[in-house]
């Protein structure tokens, strides 16, 4: 039996690769005419009358509006009750690398009937992602990524040199767009979409990395934002040490919550056992090279064990994780890929948005040691450290570096976070709300997992009432935790994707 969780957590490339002939950047001047969208049936859902798809042309470089353009893919799901349409609701599922077109096409399984009735849902694939001129890199090179948790000077140099080679190859296959995939450029694209829709204002729902898009749209276009829900928040103000410390602490907190669930859940296969000690023994075997997949015989590294556990915290899929720890169902290596094959790789988005330098092996070793002190069981944040080390030696420029969040929208933003979120720490949501001050209202979900919409009537109700009527919760509002199931079950609606080698999992 091949485990899903540890396969998701491994460094093996999991995105499907596709053969391409090279980048296709149009040379039509962006300023020739206002942006328009020619709507047509969506290729994936041609028989759905509520769905239409199209593209909007935007400059590759917004500083050169008369230069080459790319097409940003857009999908619209029409409001079920057009007589009481509240206007466009732009939605983003996070990533970076998540497809907003897919999000819109699957919106009926995510949003409430009220939201579906009263909003035209607008999803888009951000530049460099999915159908919007994706960043392409050699699949073989992506699959050969070094593991980032090996604490030696040689490993540090190997990571730095590997990312340099990868960046050069990605640039060759992607073209000049690779220098312009930052979130500020995405924000400009959203406003081009707004203009093409003929809307004076938009509403916005973003989850995980999508909250950064919402934050920066509110900063740049406050008068054009009717309302915005920021669900499970990024904090774009942190340096390397604080970023890693908060990510690592929230992962270890999620592990502690998993241990506590096993203690109180009689149906768990780990009930009555010392779960932390069991996990530590597995980690020791991984370090010794003796923890293997029972079917494939492939070794499971400590990094894969930790990342696999964190991927289970997203749901949370605690019952599944308990079963897999008992059975030691590991993940084999990815199948070899044919020479010349390319794969999507959205990490340059993060490397354009965050300056999180690790300038020497001394710093590299120090951060690993600090994470181990914070997380004695998991040892590091596979999400945070994976992202930081993916940018180590990356040849691109950080065009959208961190700053204090300052937005003055006409309606305060709704900021909501789970207290035990494994990916976007509760502290990040709290800090975002503090930076926004009177321009935000914060809601706590006192439970677990990544993403709060659909967790309960309470979490969904606060967000729906705000989106529909701009009704703000009372200060200090919170929602009680909903206990995860004792048997394996997938969360509904689907949660933001857990981390893989190509997507950090925000």
Cβ neighbors of 144 (< 8 A, separation 6 or more) are 162
- How far is it, in rounded angstroms, from Cα 155 to Cα 504? 20
Query: What average pLDDT does this structure show over 399-418?
Result: 98
Instruction: Report the pLDDT averaged over residues 235-264.
Output: 98
Spacing of C-alpha 407 from chain mean position: 22
Asked if residue 502 has pLDDT above 80, the reply is: no
Convert the pLDDT of each residue in 172-191 to its tens digit.
999 999 999 999 999 999 99
Min mean pLDDT across 30-39, 97-106, 244-253, 491-500 is at 491-500
The contacts of residue 49 (CB under 8 Å, 6+ apart) are none
| pLDDT, tens digit (0-9, with 9 covering 90-100), for 184-236 | 999 999 999 999 999 999 999 999 999 999 999 999 999 999 999 999 999 99
| Superfamily for the 51-134+201-237+405-469 domain | Alpha/Beta hydrolase fold, catalytic domain (3.40.50.1820)
Report the alpha-carbon distance of residue 456 to residue 447 in Å, rounded.
10
Tokens 């809601």 belong to which residue?
443
Q: Which helix (H) or strand (E) holds 227?
A: strand 225-233
Mean pLDDT of the chain: 90
- Predicted pLDDT at 6: 59
Residues 37-60, mean pLDDT to the nearest whole number: 96
Please count the helices (runs of H) and the strands (runs of E) in the chain.
16, 11
Q: What is the pLDDT of residues 322-352, one digit of tens each?
A: 999 998 634 433 344 444 588 999 999 999 9
359 by DSSP, 3-state: which? coil
- The pLDDT, as a whole number, for residue 500 is 54
Confidence of residue 367 (pLDDT cuts 50, 70, 90): very high
Q: Identify the sign of the CA torsion 344, 397, 204, 230.
A: positive
User: For 421-479, how does the pLDDT look when each residue is reduced to its tens digit (9 = 90+)?
Assistant: 999 999 999 999 999 999 999 999 999 999 999 999 999 999 999 999 999 999 999 99
Question: What per-residue confidence (pLDDT) applies to 21?
Answer: 29
Domain ranges, ordered by start, for the chain: 51-134+201-237+405-469
Give the whole-angstrom CA distance, residue 187 versus residue 497.
Answer: 22
Give 447's DSSP letter.
E
Confidence of residue 24 (pLDDT cuts 50, 70, 90): very low
d(CA 315, CA 492): 9
- Please determine, for residue 8, whether its predicted confidence score (pLDDT) is greater than 90: no
pTM over cut 0.75: yes
- How far is it, in rounded angstroms, from Cα 261 to Cα 449? 13
Q: What is the pLDDT of residue 20?
A: 28
Q: What is the pLDDT of residues 377-405, one digit of tens each?
A: 999 999 999 999 999 999 999 999 999 99
Report pLDDT for 294.
73
Mean pLDDT value of segment 47-66 = 97
Which residues partner with 204 through β-bridges?
A: 90, 228
Tens of pLDDT, residue by residue over 303-316, are 999 999 999 999 99
The answer on pLDDT for 120 being more than 90 is: yes
58, 26 Cβ separation under 8 angstroms: no
Q: What is the structure's pLDDT at 327?
A: 80
Residues 66 and 31 sit within 8 Å (Cβ to Cβ) = yes
- The whole-number pLDDT of residue 5 equals 60
Distance spanning both ends of the chain, measured CA to CA: 28
Sign of CA dihedral 293, 296, 301, 305: negative
């Amino acid at each position: 039996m091949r485990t899903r969780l540890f396969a998701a957590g491994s460094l093996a490339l999991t995105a499907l690769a596709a053969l391409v002939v090279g980048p296709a950047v149009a040379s039509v001047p962006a300023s020739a005419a206002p942006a328009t969208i020619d709507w047509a049936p969506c290729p994936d859902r041609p028989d759905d009358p509520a769905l239409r798809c199209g593209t909007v042309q935007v400059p590759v470089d917004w500083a050169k509006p008369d230069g080459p353009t790319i097409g940003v893919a857009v999908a619209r799901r029409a409001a079920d009750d057009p007589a009481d349409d509240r206007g466009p609701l732009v939605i983003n599922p996070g990533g970076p690398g998540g497809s907003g077109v897919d999000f819109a096409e699957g919106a009926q399984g995510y949003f409430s009937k009220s939201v579906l009735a009263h909003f035209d849902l607008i999803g888009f694939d951000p530049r460099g992602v999915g159908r919007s001129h994706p960043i392409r890199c050699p699949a073989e090179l992506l699959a050969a990524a070094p593991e980032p948790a090996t604490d030696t000077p040689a490993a540090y140099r190997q990571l730095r040199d590997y990312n340099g080679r990868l960046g050069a190859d990605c640039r060759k296959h992607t073209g000049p767009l690779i220098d312009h995939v930052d979130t500020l450029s995405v924000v400009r694209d959203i406003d081009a979409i707004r203009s093409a829709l003929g809307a004076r204002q938009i509403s916005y729902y973003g989850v995980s990395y999508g909250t950064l898009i919402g934050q920066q749209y509110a900063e740049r276009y406050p008068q054009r934002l009717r309302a915005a829900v920021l669900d499970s928040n990024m904090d774009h103000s942190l340096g390397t040490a604080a970023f890693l410390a908060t990510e690592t602490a929230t992962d270890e907190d999620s592990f502690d919550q998993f241990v506590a669930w096993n203690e109180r859940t009689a149906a768990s296969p780990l009930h009555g056992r010392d779960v932390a000690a069991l996990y530590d023994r597995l980690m020791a075997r991984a370090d010794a090279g003796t923890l293997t997949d029972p079917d494939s015989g492939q070794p499971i590294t400590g990094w894969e064990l930790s990342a696999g556990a964190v991927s289970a915290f997203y749901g949370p899929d605690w019952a599944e994780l308990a079963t897999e720890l008992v059975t030691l169902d590991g993940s084999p290596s990815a199948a070899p890929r044919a020479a010349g094959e390319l794969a999507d790789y959205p990490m340059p988005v993060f490397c354009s948005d965050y300056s999180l330098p690790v300038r020497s092996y001394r710093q590299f070793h120090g951060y690993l040691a600090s994470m181990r002190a914070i997380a004695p069981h998991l040892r590091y944040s596979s999400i945070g450290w994976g992202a930081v080390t993916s940018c180590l030696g990356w040849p691109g420029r950080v065009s959208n570096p961190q700053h204090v969040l300052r937005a003055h929208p006409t309606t305060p933003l709704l900021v909501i976070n789970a207290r035990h979120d494994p990916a976007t720490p509760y502290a990040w949501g709290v800090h975002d709300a503090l930076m926004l001050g009177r321009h935000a209202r914060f809601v706590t979900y006192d439970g677990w997992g990544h993403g709060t919409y659909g967790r309960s009537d309470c979490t969904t109700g606060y967000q729906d009432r705000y989106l529909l009527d701009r009704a703000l919760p009372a200060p200090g509002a919170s929602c009680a935790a909903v206990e995860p199931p004792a048997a394996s079950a997938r969360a509904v609606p689907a949660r933001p994707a857990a981390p893989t080698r190509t997507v950090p999992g925000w």
